[in-house]
Amino acid sequence: MSKTLFDKIWDTHVIAGQVGEPQLLYVDLHLIHEVTSPQPFDGLRSMHRRLRRPDLTFATMDHNVPTKDIFNVQDEMSRLQMETLERNCKEFDVPLASIGDDQQGIVHVVGPERGLTQPAKVIVCGDSHTATHGAFGTIAFGIGTSEVEHVMATQTIWQVKPKTMGIKITGKLPANTYAKDIIMGIIAQYGVSFGTGYAIEFYGEAVENLSMEARLTMCNMSIEAGSKTGMVRPDQTTFDYIKGREFAPKDFAAAQKYWESFYTDDESAFDENLTFDVSDLKPMITWGTNPGMAMAVNQLTPAVKDANDQAAYDYIGLHPGMKAEEIPLDYLFIGSCTNSRYEDLEIAAQMMKGKHLAPNITAWIVPGSRAIRNKAIKTGIAKIFEDAGCEWREPGCSACLAMNPDKIPAGMHAASTSNRNFIGRQGAGSRTHLASPAMVAAAGIAGHFVDITLLDTEEGESK
Ligand SMILES: CC(C)[C@H](C(=O)O)[C@@H](O)C(=O)O
Ligand code: SF4
């Protein structure tokens, strides 16, 4: 019987149990951050347990980090969570990238960056965007707080095997469209819950041509389609990315040989199959309050279909029949585990080079890690942003969820490269419009969304 990439990795990790029932899986890597770890650590302490594999556990601080003045944590709850992580990591011997450290950053950015994320692993984290790591051909999913404690104590987790879904992505991406537009386009077409109960594998010509950064963006938003896991078959792009990184395998050739044995035998192995063609893909933006409420930049905001649409329009202050350029914008946020990697910043900077933000726009550029920040300073990208009038920040989750001082004020509209446009997500009353880094950067210059596929890149002017 043919098997999927997911099946093959799953099978190499099952310790106990039968398909259809909870099965005990071995966990290769447990990533933790300050928000979902305090209770599990308390649990270990109260049961007088040790953390079983501190060497397979990595911690970073991200959600609460103030990105303007990183050591000045004003909020009591934020400070408590961060100090608690610091103390717990010391007590349980877990390596921690603390605030200001060279390895610090958003958990889903630093895992790949350090070479911890590798093909054929099972990776978990108390965070729903753990799906991001699946870009390496790994089973990666978010877990709840009690599960975090279970993994800490045993390095294993009970899971019921999900069904598998293959999404074949065909065609050639048009200029100025990106992985963000692909995943937003898929969610706009199929909805925010079509992936529930499935592990998704993205494959096909268009996926093979994507960089690791782009694959990470796509897998990151699998959870916005309802799937806990999104993955891509590991290939040469994957191996080249890992090679030479801090935690890359010492015997790389042997590791690569092993990784190469993980792929989906044929399409019939999937429980469900979908296709998505990108040949005519347009840049996507959201108009509503979930990632499925999205439209192509050249479309009009849609008619009201149901009460949810009406509630979304009421909250966001738009109405049907509006052009993308008519959506008012006040802020722009380039950051988050979806789109804060070096390549994302480079693309955004290209849009802003030699230009200045429109007067109505406040812009926050928040690199996903200190390594990215340092690189961008070195290569001059940071300077492009600063010259354009953007605020160039320290690494963290920032305005993606506003668990820190980076909050979009009530009633204000933000063009954002993050993954969730839920009510209040970027601050109470904030209004979020998701898009790719290139779209968000171009909107900053124009003062409103523009169709960047119509831009003359030489001139930077609209045709
Ligand atoms: C705080 C954390 C648990 C949460 C998540 O699970 O994803 C956050 O990262 C988010 O993006 O909403
Ligand atoms: S950047 Fe946003 S989505 Fe990613 S882990 Fe942080 S809060 Fe969650």
In this structure, are 20 and 129 located in the same domain? yes
**Residue 337 is assigned to a ligand binding site:** yes
Burial class (CB in 10 A: 0-12, 13-18, 19+), 69: exposed
Provide the 8-state DSSP code for 49.
P
Residue 154 beta carbon below 6 angstroms from any ligand 1 atom: no
Please give the full DSSP string across 343-395, using - where no structure is assigned: HHHHHHHHHHTT----TT-EEEE--SBHHHHHHHHHHTHHHHHHHTT-EE--S
**Closest ligand 1 atom to the C-alpha of 425?**
12
In this structure, are 13 and 142 located in the same domain? yes
Residue 129 beta carbon below 6 angstroms from any ligand 2 atom: yes
Residue 62 beta carbon below 6 angstroms from any ligand 2 atom: yes
Provide the 8-state DSSP code for 96.
E
Residue 224 beta carbon below 6 angstroms from any ligand 2 atom: no
337 CA distance to ligand 2 centroid (A)? Answer: 6
The secondary structure element, H or E, covering residue 176 is none
Q: Which of 276, 303, 319 is the last residue of a domain?
A: 276
Residue that has been written with the tokens 């270990």 in this structure:
44
In this structure, are 379 and 454 located in the same domain? yes
**Residue 89 is assigned to a ligand binding site:** no
Cα diameter, the chain: 67
Q: Model pTM?
A: 0.97
In this structure, are 248 and 317 located in the same domain? no
The ligand that comes nearest to the alpha carbon of residue 400 is 2
**Residue 125 is assigned to a ligand binding site:** no
Residue 337 beta carbon below 6 angstroms from any ligand 1 atom: no
Kindly provide the b/e burial profile for residues 382-396, where b requires at least 16 CB atoms within 10 angstroms of the residue's own CB: bebbeebbbebbbbb
Segments of 278-325 assigned E as strands: 284-286, 294-296
* Tokens matching residue 66: 């103030």
Q: What CATH number does the domain containing 368 carry? A: 3.30.499.10
The secondary structure element, H or E, covering residue 199 is strand 198-203
Helix and strand counts by DSSP (H, E) for the chain = 15, 21
In this structure, are 148 and 9 located in the same domain? yes
Write the residue with the smallest CA distance to atom 8 of ligand 2: 129
- The span from the CA of 305 to the CA of 340, in Å, is 34
C-alpha dihedral sign at 399, 175, 379, 103: positive
pLDDT tens per residue across all 463 residues of the chain: 899 999 999 999 999 999 999 999 999 999 999 999 999 999 999 999 999 999 999 999 999 999 999 999 999 999 999 999 999 999 999 999 999 999 999 999 999 999 999 999 999 999 999 999 999 999 999 999 999 999 999 999 999 999 999 999 999 999 999 999 999 999 999 999 999 999 999 999 999 999 999 999 999 999 999 999 999 999 999 999 999 999 999 999 999 999 999 999 999 999 999 999 999 999 999 999 999 999 999 999 999 999 999 999 999 999 999 999 999 999 999 999 999 999 999 999 999 999 999 999 999 999 999 999 999 999 999 999 999 999 999 999 999 999 999 999 999 999 999 999 999 999 999 999 999 999 999 999 999 999 999 987 544 444 3
404 CA distance to ligand 1 centroid (A)? Answer: 13
Q: Which of 276, 301, 334 is the last residue of a domain?
A: 276
The ligand that comes nearest to the alpha carbon of residue 109 is 2
In this structure, are 257 and 318 located in the same domain? no
Write the residue with the smallest CA distance to atom 7 of ligand 1: 128
pLDDT in tens, 257-309: 999 999 999 999 999 999 999 999 999 999 999 999 999 999 999 999 999 99
